[in-house]
C-alpha cells in the first residue's frame, strides 16, 4: 500500500506486510519522499541538480541528483530504475521504523 496505508495498518496492529508498490512505482518513475510523491520523468526535474531526497535516507539520495535520475529514465537506462528502487525501499524502511 501507500505510505499512508502502511501507517494506518501499523496503528491497527498489523506487523507484517508484502507490498510491491515501492518497487513497481520506482520502475515507473514515482518516488516516495517525506514531502509526498514525485514523478521523476517530469520535465521540471531536468535541470534540478539537488539530491534525490534531501533527507538522505539511502546512499543514492545524496549520490545522485534529480536531473541525473531523470536523464537515466529519459534514455531508458536500467540504472535509473535501480536507483529509484533503492530509494523507495529505503523510504519504506525509514517509514516503518
Give tens-digit pLDDT for 28-37: 999 999 889 9
Write down the pLDDT at residue 21: 87
Who wins on pLDDT, 6 or 19? 6
The residue segments making up the domain with residue 10 are 3-96
CB-based contact 52:65 (threshold 8 Å): yes
Give tens-digit pLDDT for 35-75: 899 999 999 999 999 999 999 999 999 999 999 999 999 99
What pTM did the predictor assign?
0.89
Q: How far apart are the first and last CA of the chain?
A: 16
Counting the structural domains of the chain, the total is: 1
Round to whole Å and give the CA distance between 69 and 12.
36
Amino acid at each position: 500500500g501507500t505510505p499512508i496505508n502502511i501507517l494506518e495498518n501499523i496503528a491497527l496492529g498489523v506487523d507484517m506486510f508484502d507490498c510491491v508498490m515501492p518497487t513497481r512505482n520506482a520502475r515507473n518513475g514515482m518516488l516516495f519522499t517525506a514531502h509526498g510523491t514525485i514523478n521523476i520523468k517530469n520535465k521540471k526535474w531536468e535541470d534540478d541538480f539537488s539530491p534525490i531526497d534531501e533527507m538522505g535516507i539511502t546512499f543514492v539520495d545524496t549520490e545522485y541528483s534529480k536531473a541525473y535520475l531523470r536523464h537515466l529514465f529519459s534514455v531508458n537506462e536500467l540504472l535509473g530504475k535501480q536507483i529509484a528502487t533503492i530509494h523507495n525501499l529505503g523510504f519504506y524502511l525509514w517509514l516503518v521504523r
